[in-house]
Structure formats: C-alpha cells, structure tokens
Amino acid sequence: MLNIITILELIYATLLGALIGLEREIKGKDAGFQTYALVCLGSYLFTIIFYSIYNAFIQESQISFDPGRIIQSIAIGVGFLGAGAIFKNNEGIRGLTTAAGLWVAAAIGVAVAVQEYLIALIAAFLVVFIFLLLGIFEKNIIKK
C-alpha cells in the first residue's frame, strides 16, 4: 500500500545512493550518481515488495516465506552487476572499489526498506568516508 512513509522511503533510499554516487561522479568513475541511486532504490523496491507479498500471504498456511532470501537474492544480483564493473588492464585490476560500493549501496536500500533509517544514513556516510578519505590515504601514503 502506497502511503507518505513509503514515498519518503523511496526518496531517502534514492538520495543515499546518489550521495555515494556523487563522490564517484566527482572522481570521474563510470558508476556515479545514476548507478548508485538506482542500485539503492532497486534494493529498497525488491525488499518492500517482498514484504508486501509476505504480509498478503501470511495467513496462508501452505505458503512459506523466508525473509532472508530476498536479501540473499539482492546481494547475489548486485554481485553480478559488480562483476561487470571489474576488469583487468595493464595497470592491474580495476573496478573492485566500485563493485564493493555498489554492493554496500544495495544493503543501504534494504536497510531503508526495513526502516533502519539511521543505520542506512551512517552506512552511506561511512561509504563516502571510505571513498574520499581512505582513498586519499591509500593513494598518497600507502602506495608511495
């Protein structure tokens, strides 16, 4: 059932994904605003739709649902998406960080869907922290 909370959650999941994508966009990565926003939003949608179906059929004694399966399916699906972002060239393997970021963006979408808003927000900021500050640390200190 569509209500104001669901609409706000849709927007929240999309904005958190876009927040992560902003950093990637600034760095000129292929996966940016749109990709991260879509992954986060898609994960939210899969989760909320699953719970709607679950609630509709909970009274049916012959139908069983395992809520963990939707999360597992999302993680696997985004894993395939992430695998497409990883490639090897003369410089080595590229795209691992992007793939990991997409995977976490999916988890953030799930967190919003199960109304763990603060966890989703903190996770999004941690991803941006990792991309920005730890990326700078890795580039300028560790790899020198």
Per-residue pLDDT tens digits for 53-72: 877 777 776 777 777 888 88
Residues 6+ apart with CB under 8 A from 109: 13, 16, 17, 39, 40, 41, 42, 43, 44, 45, 47, 74
Total of domains in the chain: 1
Residues of the domain holding 48: 4-142
Note the pTM of the prediction, 2 decimals: 0.84
**What pLDDT score was predicted for residue 144?**
66
pLDDT interval class at 95 (50, 70, 90):
confident
Average pLDDT value for residue range 23-49: 88
| Residues found in the chain | 144
**What pLDDT score was predicted for residue 44?**
94
